Amino acid sequence: MSFQEYHVDMTKIYEWLPWGGLTAPNMLEQKDGSFVGIIRYKPYPVESPAIGLPELPRGWTLLVDRHHIGDQTGDYLTVTWNPFEKADKTVINTLDAPLADISKCRDYFQMAIETIAEAVGAVTEARTLREKEILDYLTETLNFGRHYVPWPEVPLFLDVLLSQDTTFKMEPNGIRVDGERIIVVSLMGMRHPKKLFHMLEGVPYRHVRRFVTMNGKQLELDRRRYTRGWCSGRRYILKGIFEEIQQGSLHGYYSECLVFCMNDLNYDRFLAFLTNYLTREKYLCRFEDYNLKDIWWGTIPGVFRADVEPPAIGFAELGELLLHPDVRQKRDDLDIAADKLEKQVVLRQKGV
């Protein structure tokens, strides 16, 4: 098959981006028929109540994304929905009752993203992005805020519009954006990254947690498929292996990574610095090379087919994926008293 008659240039980044256009103020409709909504939220205390959402079926993707661009930091939750249609046009993977007609998906998702924002807003400040805010957020995921576009008269063809001023080069095991090299570090083991954020305070980065969802029944089918042939004759051992990591009401494929964009002058020095820090702090991590492209694509909002790796795991609820306030910025009375006592000891030792 040849794409020549369709004038498709597969070397251009926009041919791979799924973004279509804003068909509603709070929603991006994609070229493949899926939908994207973006919620900006403020980190909330760990002891907050659970976020009240139903079990998410297959076809939904959650992208928890911290943007540290210049002096600005923003925390975002991107929700992507790929409707699953049966032969009778019924859509079965909704958050509640099935939709009787696939033509109603656009209106349904508009309400769904606001429902999710309200659920998050019950425990912390949250709101859906709208119109130009959506365009700016999508642009930052591509080029770290180097170029922004003015609001177009017709907000369509966003794959071309938002990438037209940025140059991309796909190398054998790398990506360059405006001549700078993309660095992706996968983090294994869910640690609160507060110390990491402090260390990176002067560095542009994205911190991405991605969750491709499925329900409990699909989780069990996926586990059986993934572990076929494991622990032959000792299935009780297999049950023990997955008993902890698959608990909870939120199930799916999870990944977490840091994304940087670094020029050649500072690339080696920054990589050495970051490697030494993560090693010293005992972070379990992997500097991506061979899989860099697949994982980077998975950090782009709306791209739900990239970076999908079993096994599926479980979380109690959505709040476990979202970021909490940096506890180092909140000092209680005990911390202050300890500091005063330490200063008094130092002064006594000096004979003051």
What count of other Cβ atoms lies within 10 Å of the Cβ of residue 54?
12
16, burial (CB in 10 Å: exposed 0-12, middle 13-18, buried 19+): middle
Report in angstroms the alpha-carbon separations of 272 from 130, 158, 201, 277. 40, 37, 17, 9
What count of other Cβ atoms lies within 10 Å of the Cβ of residue 320?
17
Cα distance between residue 160 and residue 165, in whole Å? 9
pLDDT for residue 173:
87
**Residue 57: which of 96, 115, 100 has the closest Cα?**
96
Cα distance between residue 319 and residue 330, in whole Å? 20
Cα distance between residue 140 and residue 134, in whole Å? 10
pLDDT for residue 192:
79
Return per-residue pLDDT of the chain as tens, 352 residues.
Answer: 455 555 656 568 999 999 999 999 999 999 999 999 999 999 987 778 889 888 899 999 999 999 999 888 999 999 999 999 988 889 999 999 899 888 899 999 999 999 999 999 999 999 999 999 999 999 999 999 999 999 999 999 999 999 999 999 999 889 999 999 999 999 998 777 888 998 998 899 999 999 999 988 888 888 888 888 888 777 677 777 777 777 888 899 999 999 999 999 999 999 999 999 999 999 999 999 999 999 999 999 999 999 999 889 888 889 989 988 764 444 444 555 555 555 555 555 555 5
**Residue 302: which of 142, 140, 136, 79 has the closest Cα?**
79
pLDDT for residue 330:
40
Write down the pTM of the prediction: 0.87
Containing H/E element for 113? Answer: helix 105-121
List of E strands, the chain = 19-24, 27-30, 35-41, 60-69, 72-81, 126-128, 168-171, 174-177, 180-187, 205-214, 250-262, 285-287, 313-315
37: its two tokens? 């909504």
pLDDT for residue 331:
42
301, burial (CB in 10 Å: exposed 0-12, middle 13-18, buried 19+): buried
pLDDT for residue 9:
66
Cα-based angle 129, 130, 135 (whole degrees, multiple of 5): 90
